[in-house]
Amino acid sequence: MTKTTTLTLFYAGVALVCAAILALVNFLILPGLKTKGAETIDFANVGQQRQEAWFPIGKDLVATNQAGETVKLSDLRGKAWVVAEFFAVCPHCAVRNGKELREIYDAFKDRPDFHIVCISVDPQQDGVEKLKDYAEALGADSKNWWFLNAGDEKATHEYLEKTLKYLGVRERTDPAQIEANGRFEHDMGLLAVSRDFSTFGKWDLAFQRSELGTPEGYKSVKSAMMTRLREELDKKIEP
């Protein structure tokens, strides 16, 4: 056997081995990964939180509202309610979610079984007077729209993240960013809770109004949210 023939057979063997490896990857390994739950990324929705399985709220929260009253989220059992994160000195919260929350409030405020809750992510700064000013600016009545200070900052953030499943609150450190956007970056989603203290929907209208969203997407998400809230409120209450 000549040297040329030997090299030819060697490289042919290498090619066959490579082909066999590619076949193994394509026909055995990749299908296996798919069956284990590998996701296809939908780039049209990057940045949005998805919650496929809704959950009961397993832990209560005690806080002070804008009227100086001590209240508990469990006081809202028997009502359908919407909850949002905010902080009073945030330069964007009122713009991003205030209009949406006001429209939801106007649509359902005459229902005695409806409520809105806004929980401050900055309890150190958002005292009762700031909560009261914020509520008055949005025309919120404490009987059916609470602005809450839950006391300890760390415990509040932990409750929002671990119990209500919001994305984690992130504290900004760049002075310029703090000046422009406020101390905290937080989830802008509107979470809905049923009469039995279980979540049933979450909608990020602020995202849909951003440069990453579309007018059509905003309209669709807003319509879906309002429809779902009406359905929940129209459910017959078992005696």
pLDDT tens-digit readout, 161-188: 999 999 988 888 888 887 777 778 888 8
Q: What is the DSSP string of 43-110?
A: GGGTT----SS--B--S--EEE-TTS-EEEGGGGTTSEEEEEEE-TT-TTHIIIIIHHHHHHHHHHTT
Cα–Cα distance list, 150 to 1, 143, 172, 209, 228 (Å): 85, 18, 21, 29, 28
The domain locations on the chain are 3-37, 49-233
Residue 239 has pLDDT above 80, yes or no: no
Judged by average pLDDT, the poorest of 17-26, 110-119, 122-131, 177-186 is: 17-26
Give residue 20's pLDDT.
44
The CATH code of domain 49-233 reads 3.40.30.10
Integer Cα distance of 196 and 152 in angstroms:
27
pLDDT tens, position by position, 203-218:
999 888 888 889 999 9
pTM of this structure = 0.75
The predicted model gives 128-143 an average pLDDT of 94
